[in-house]
Structure 1
Amino acid sequence: MARARTPVVDGWFREDGGGFRLVGTRCADCASVFFPREDAFCRNPACAGTGLIEVPLSRRGTVWSWTDCRYRPPAPYVSDPAVEWEPYTLVAVELAAERMVVLGQAAPGVTPADLAVGREVEVVPGVLGEDSERVWTTWHWRPVTPEEAA
């Protein structure tokens, strides 16, 4: 039996005919863009807007920073000691059009040696974890190859 593919957070990303995209919201009054999405009010302190429109975010951005996560997080963070710890790379990506930085894990196999500040990356579908019933889906950042960038 196939396991259900379940987003780790519903409404933060989608895969459709336009490809895999992070989803944010834009204020109809001041045009500020938010991720994670905001559905109640504009988070811009200079705006009292409440009209928020769902918008797909840019697929590509540039590395703003990154860190190499090599140890199991301490309590109170949830981390099952029965599961072998796998290091990962966390990437902060600047989306120029939205004027924001979005965090996410690097795609499997991407290491800090593959990254540099200013390097172009793109958002791709990822898997955060699996259990007997579900595959928990998320997003990852993958470096754009020189051929893809051209």
Structure 2
Amino acid sequence: MDSITLRPVVDEILTLDEAGAHLLGSACQDCDTVYFPPVLRCRNPGCAGKTIVPSHLEGAGVLFSFTIQRYRPPALFALEPWEAYAIGSVDLAGGVRVLGIIQAPFDQLSPGLAVRLSTSVLNDGDEGAVITHVFVPDEDGPG
């Protein structure tokens, strides 16, 4: 059986390893500000040090807000087969808010829903499956 090659739609923000998927961000060592996607320097105007280091973000969070997307996204993010999807703003530990697809029945979505990081195949081609980060309901999470 052939192994499936998984490729993140954007390499700089998602990584996969034996433990699963991780969002890649950055953090300022001087003021503890967390960023997603990663930044090259701290944007906090009150920070004098501005020392940035790579950071894996927590995978669990709480849905802050959401909307239902009923249009096809651009080719890079094409979902096949096409269907409407929810996109939401998720509050993760460390004070960072991340946008992502929320994979849950639309009638179960509400602010405060506990979610956790997962991945989903956007499309599958000759060079492997293109994946993106998504959030799914987390029955064990806060919320």
User: TM bucket by the smaller chain?
Assistant: 0.7 to 0.9
* Residue from 115, 123, 133 that aligns with 1:129: 123
* Counterpart position of 1:67: 67
Moved over 6 A (4+): none
Q: TM-score, normalised by structure 1?
A: 0.79
Q: CA 1:32 to 1:141, structure 2 compared with 1: closer, same or farther past 3 Å?
A: same
Cα deviation, 1:70-116, whole Å, max 9, x if unaligned, reads 1235xxx5489xx7642111011111x32121110123xx2221211
Q: CA 1:10 to 1:119, structure 2 compared with 1: closer, same or farther past 3 Å?
A: same
Where 2:16 maps in the other structure, the secondary structure is strand
Structure 1 gaps, min length 5: none
Once the 2 structures are TM-superposed, how far is the Cα of residue 120 of structure 1 from its aligned partner?
Answer: 0.4
* Counterpart position of 2:25: 24
Cα distance in 2 for residues equivalent to 1:43 and 1:136: 31
Q: CA 1:64 to 1:49, structure 2 compared with 1: closer, same or farther past 3 Å?
A: same
* Counterpart position of 2:105: 111
Where 1:113 maps in the other structure, the secondary structure is helix
Cα distance in 2 for residues equivalent to 1:53 and 1:137: 25
Once the 2 structures are TM-superposed, how far is the Cα of residue 50 of structure 1 from its aligned partner?
Answer: 4.2
Q: CA contact under 8 A between 2:61 and 2:141: conserved in structure 1? A: no
The answer to which of 49-58 and 117-126 deviates more is 49-58
Q: CA 1:135 to 1:84, structure 2 compared with 1: closer, same or farther past 3 Å?
A: closer
* Counterpart position of 1:33: 34
Whether 1:90 aligns to 2:84 is no
Cα distance in 1 for residues equivalent to 2:135 and 2:114: 10
Q: Output the aligned Cα RMSD.
A: 2.6
Structure 2 gaps, min length 5: none
Cα distance in 1 for residues equivalent to 2:29 and 2:129: 35
Where 2:54 maps in the other structure, the secondary structure is strand
Q: CA 1:45 to 1:129, structure 2 compared with 1: closer, same or farther past 3 Å?
A: farther
Q: CA contact under 8 A between 1:63 and 1:93: conserved in structure 2? A: yes
Q: CA 1:20 to 1:89, structure 2 compared with 1: closer, same or farther past 3 Å?
A: same
Cα distance in 1 for residues equivalent to 2:98 and 2:105: 18
Q: AA paired with 1:41?
A: R
